[in-house]
Amino acid sequence: AWFSLPDRVKPGDRVFLTSCRRLEQNIQQMMRNDYPFSKLPCEMKARIAPEEPLMLMMKALDYTVTVYSSGKASVAEKHPLTEETLRNHLTRLGETPFLVKDFSIEIEGEAILPFSQLNQVRREAVELLSQKILIPFHHQPIVVKNVRSDGENNAEEHNRFGPSFLTVYAGNIEILKQALAIGVQKVIFGGESFIPGFSWNKKNLTEAMSISQKKGVKAIIALPRITRERERKRHEEYILTCQQLCPDGFLVSHLGSLQMVRDYSDLPLYANYPFHFFNTYTFKLLNDWKIKGITLSPELSRKELFALLGKEEFIHTEVEILVFGALELMVSQFCPLGAWVGNNPPLTCSRPCQKDLFFLRDRKGIDFPVITDEFCRMHLLNSRRLSLFRELKILKDKNLSLRLELRHQSPKIAGEIIRIYQEGIEKETDEKQQLAIESLLGQSLTRGHFYRGVE
């Protein structure tokens, strides 16, 4: 076939087949009700005799059902039922999931039976056989009333008291050093990197663990938010490397990472907010994995958050909430910067993301930052950073881990933000400090869903 292309094509470029006439014809054929390969082959046996009900046996996938007509056959005076007539009525399966491959009939004497009874026997056999085949795949539906009752029975609330502390999710070694110098009690590092030229390799992980342990600070190593199957070997080596460094635990963001860590390590696990902890049921499902700490969803309102903190399930669990950071709205394997700005095939992308800042502007003229990680995945951030600095006064006595998400910040700005938040916990918050954060970032801040919830 010959066709023209708008751009130059080089050896090794990927070609995507987006339309195929033969494939479309096959798909259209498969959507037809009479498509033979979409039906289960079945076997039918029937028996009819005067003064006896019609018997129909139907078999498929090693399942067998036998059905009898409600009435008995009569002695025919003129036109008894023939094999051809019975075949036409009993094998007429139409839009059912079955197709008769073998049919046999035993006729004794000259019997007659209304066609309506023939059709009824066929329909009953199809229905019973369908139900029998599907039994292994049926699950008892969850009774909502029982689920709610279970939640209400365990709804005893407890007051959660104790000093809260800062946790810094550092994007590189420099930010980590500033956090340790200011005196935070817990740090998170590792995972994907958003800083050009920097990655959490063995050298940087070793240095990060070394300086954290010297300060006596709890150090958690994160896995990338997305761990694809084709990258499994790389992530397994990453986990084994981290295991040798003896961190205080791993931060995981989805069930696949959780299972992968458990395959190679028995260190404590911390579940990140992409697990969407909105209620105690999510936590109960993960109980078997011995989760030591969780990060609640940033979409929880103040009322919902405090209601969860009072639940018995969270009394002995480290609960963390985000109090500062740029929330991710979307993560995509497709990189628009490389495709449109880089103006090059994927293997020779000029990596414009490492040189300039990029934004996605919506119809209201609001700019949303677009950044890429070391795996060339695109991350779309919220236009304004989340900040619960003003709310520290009601959070600092709830025994919470208050996370500062600083992976997207420069070390200089990150250090100032850590210092301001640490002062806010140790002393009373001041409106001047909130304004100082806005001045550092050059933008107003948002409290997200803390008061209005998800609309």
The answer to whether residue 144 scores a pLDDT higher than 70 is no
- Looking at residue 334, what is its pLDDT? 86
- Looking at residue 178, what is its pLDDT? 96
Average the pLDDT over each of 4-13, 85-94, 170-179, 194-203 and give the range with the smallest value. 4-13
- Looking at residue 34, what is its pLDDT? 62
Alpha carbon 92 to its chain centroid, in Å, reads 44
- CA 292, CA 383: separation in Å to the nearest integer? 32
Question: Which of 351 and 54 is assigned the larger pLDDT?
Answer: 54
- CA 133, CA 106: separation in Å to the nearest integer? 26
The answer to whether residue 271 scores a pLDDT higher than 60 is yes
- CA 187, CA 175: separation in Å to the nearest integer? 10
Count of CB atoms within 10 A of residue 374's CB? 16
The confidence band for 310, taking pLDDT boundaries of 50, 70 and 90, is confident
Helix, strand or coil, per DSSP, at residue 174: helix
- Looking at residue 158, what is its pLDDT? 67
Same structural domain for residues 190 and 114? no
Helix, strand or coil, per DSSP, at residue 163: coil
The answer to whether residue 436 scores a pLDDT higher than 90 is yes
- Looking at residue 398, what is its pLDDT? 92
Q: At what angle do helices 202-215 and 173-182 cross, to 10 degrees?
A: 0
- Looking at residue 38, what is its pLDDT? 75
Name the H helices within 76-114: 83-90
The answer to whether residue 107 scores a pLDDT higher than 70 is yes
pLDDT average, residue stretch 324-353: 80
Burial annotation 309-344 (CB, 10 A radius, 16+ → b, else e): bebeebeeebbbbbbbbbbeeeeeeebebbeebbee
With tokens 């199809």, the residue in question is 126
Count of CB atoms within 10 A of residue 292's CB? 17
DSSP assignment of 303-334, as one string?
A: HHHHHHHTBGGGTTSEEEEEEEE--EEEEESS
Note the pLDDT tens digit of each residue in 129-138: 999 999 988 8
The answer to whether residue 7 sits within a structural domain is no
- CA 241, CA 227: separation in Å to the nearest integer? 16
- Looking at residue 452, what is its pLDDT? 83
Note the pLDDT tens digit of each residue in 409-432: 999 999 999 999 999 999 888 889
Same structural domain for residues 99 and 49? yes
Q: Are 309 and 160 in contact (CB under 8 A)?
A: yes
pLDDT average, residue stretch 24-38: 73
Nearest to 294 by CA among 311, 312, 306, 276: 276
Q: Are 12 and 347 in contact (CB under 8 A)?
A: yes
Single-letter amino acid, residue 15:
V
Spatial CB neighbours of 423, under 8 Å, sequence gap ≥ 6: 433
Note the pLDDT tens digit of each residue in 363-414: 999 999 999 998 889 999 999 999 999 999 999 999 999 999 999 899 999 9
- Looking at residue 149, what is its pLDDT? 53
Same structural domain for residues 249 and 393? yes
Tokens linked to 455: 């609309």
Q: Which residues does residue 104 pair with via DSSP β-bridges, in sequence order?
A: 45
The answer to whether residue 185 sits within a structural domain is yes
Same structural domain for residues 414 and 281? yes
Count of CB atoms within 10 A of residue 262's CB? 16
Nearest to 416 by CA among 437, 389, 388, 434: 437
Domain count, the chain: 2
Single-letter amino acid, residue 46:
A
Same structural domain for residues 218 and 114? no
- Domain stops at, among 95, 120, 135: 135
The answer to whether residue 216 sits within a structural domain is yes
Same structural domain for residues 223 and 74? no
With tokens 């969270």, the residue in question is 314
Tokens linked to 61: 């996938």
- % of the chain surpassing 90 pLDDT: 64
pLDDT average, residue stretch 210-233: 94
Average the pLDDT over each of 24-33, 41-50, 331-340, 434-443 and give the range with the smallest value. 24-33
The answer to whether residue 324 scores a pLDDT higher than 80 is yes
Same structural domain for residues 308 and 430? yes
For residue 380, CA distances in Å to 17, 296, 358 come to 29, 21, 10
Same structural domain for residues 165 and 80? no
Q: Which residues does residue 381 pair with via DSSP β-bridges, in sequence order?
A: 328
Average the pLDDT over each of 189-193, 251-255, 355-359 and give the range with the smallest value. 355-359
For residue 253, CA distances in Å to 73, 193, 272, 294, 437 come to 67, 15, 5, 10, 28
pLDDT average, residue stretch 97-105: 92
Rounded to 10 degrees, the C-alpha dihedral 174/178/181/183 comes to: -130
pLDDT average, residue stretch 221-237: 92
Q: Compute the C-alpha angle 259/265/266, nearest 5°.
A: 100
- CA 248, CA 311: separation in Å to the nearest integer? 25
- Domain stops at, among 118, 135, 152: 135
The answer to whether residue 343 sits within a structural domain is no
The confidence band for 142, taking pLDDT boundaries of 50, 70 and 90, is low
Which structural domain, as residue segments, surrounds residue 57?
A: 37-135
The answer to whether residue 99 sits within a structural domain is yes
Q: Are 223 and 251 in contact (CB under 8 A)?
A: yes
pLDDT average, residue stretch 317-324: 95
- Looking at residue 289, what is its pLDDT? 82
pTM of the predicted structure, to 2 decimals:
0.69
- Looking at residue 326, what is its pLDDT? 93
Same structural domain for residues 386 and 255? yes
Same structural domain for residues 108 and 205? no
The answer to whether residue 182 sits within a structural domain is yes
Same structural domain for residues 187 and 126? no
The answer to whether residue 345 scores a pLDDT higher than 70 is no
Please report, for the domain that includes residue 243, its CATH number: 3.20.20.110
Same structural domain for residues 48 and 96? yes
The answer to whether residue 273 sits within a structural domain is yes
328-332 vs 401-406, strand pairing mode: unpaired
The answer to whether residue 372 sits within a structural domain is no
- Looking at residue 316, what is its pLDDT? 82
- Domain stops at, among 85, 119, 135: 135
401-406 vs 165-170, strand pairing mode: parallel
